[in-house]
Amino acid sequence: MKTYDDVVQGRRSIRGFKAAPVPRELIEEVLTLALRAPSSLNSQPWNFTVVTGAALDRIRAGNTERTLAGVPDSREFRKGEQYAGPHRERQIEIAKQLFEAMGIARDDADMRQDWVLRGFRQFDAPVSIVVTYDRVLLGNDIAVFDCGAVTNALVNAAWSRGLGCVVNTQGIMQSPVVRAEAGIAEDQVIQTCVAMGWPDESFPANAVVSRRKPITEAATFVGFDD
Ligand SMILES: Cc1cc2nc3c(=O)[nH]c(=O)nc-3n(C[C@H](O)[C@H](O)[C@H](O)COP(=O)(O)O)c2cc1C
């Protein structure tokens, strides 16, 4: 059994999966753990649609086709401005790490495009878990915060059982396709999806360890020296 530290320090996003299916019972076990996540006033606004097989393949195909055809992104959340400053620098850093691991040269437009398309295909994971929340809470930022909490709990719970995940907003780029193929009701807002499966250890990007800003930058301690 992995310790909490093993899970948190060892987890990383997985973007290459073995073809082997994931048993439904194991996904239920992981979701049971994730559902222990805290939420505002214990409101638990989240819901999950677990998709595999032909339905997931249709989502991959529709997502890819529509994006290549130039259909605008229809993700159901506000995106704000493009990242700048330190946020943009971190975005570039992780992209560089991934491209370097995959041997994708900076000027290799075809390979870069191939990588982006993998994202739209949810990295060909055998399972996608679409995270939604109750539409009656649309506009309430806490519901979105709660979805983040449960999604973090989900990826860590999966890792504790040997499964790999990547939280993948590319996978819901074309939300009408996801909604139709996964049968997601209109009373749900699609927040994100999590690609899940057994990690392919031979896939180079799976070895990438992303950096974190140090605690000296992230945390301020007040009153400790009084
Ligand atoms: C809300 C959210 C959306 C993400 N969307 C994508 C995505 O579309 N494609 C992708 O490759 N990774 C995506 N990621 C994974 C992040 O790139 C990854 O978590 C980050 O670089 C830190 O790396 P780690 O998960 O390996 O610690 C997303 C993560 C989060 C939390």
Token pair belonging to 127: 């399972």
**Using CA atoms in the order 141, 142, 147, 153, what is the torsion angle rounded to 10 degrees?**
140
Q: Which pLDDT score is estimated for 226?
A: 83
Q: Whose CA is nearest to atom 23 of ligand 1?
A: 210
Which strand (E) or helix (H) includes residue 133? strand 127-134
CATH class of residue range 13-78+122-204: alpha beta
Q: Which of the 8 DSSP states describes residue 42? A: G
The full set of domain ranges for the chain reads: 13-78+122-204
Q: Which pLDDT score is estimated for 119?
A: 97
Token pair belonging to 130: 């679409």
User: Could you give the CA distance from residue 197 to residue 22 in angstroms, rounded to a whole number?
Assistant: 6
Q: Is 103 left (phi over 0), alpha (psi -120 to 50) or beta?
A: left
Q: Which pLDDT score is estimated for 11?
A: 98
The length of the chain in residues reads 226
pLDDT tens for the chain, 226 residues: list them.
899 999 999 999 999 999 999 999 999 999 999 999 999 999 999 999 999 999 999 999 999 999 999 999 999 999 999 999 999 999 999 999 999 999 999 999 999 999 999 999 999 999 999 999 999 999 999 999 999 999 999 999 999 999 999 999 999 999 999 999 999 999 999 999 999 999 999 999 999 999 999 999 999 999 998 8
What spacing in Å lies between the alpha carbon of 225 and ligand 1's midpoint? Answer: 37
Q: Which residues line ligand 1 (CB under 6 A)?
A: 12-13, 15, 94, 119, 166-170, 192, 210
Q: Which pLDDT score is estimated for 116?
A: 95
**In sequence order, which ranges of 103-171 are alpha helices (DSSP H)?**
109-120, 141-160
Q: Which pLDDT score is estimated for 21?
A: 97
Best CA proximity match to 61, nearest among 189, 190, 174: 174
What spacing in Å lies between the alpha carbon of 75 and ligand 1's midpoint? Answer: 16
Q: Whose CA is nearest to atom 9 of ligand 1?
A: 168
Q: Which pLDDT score is estimated for 144?
A: 97
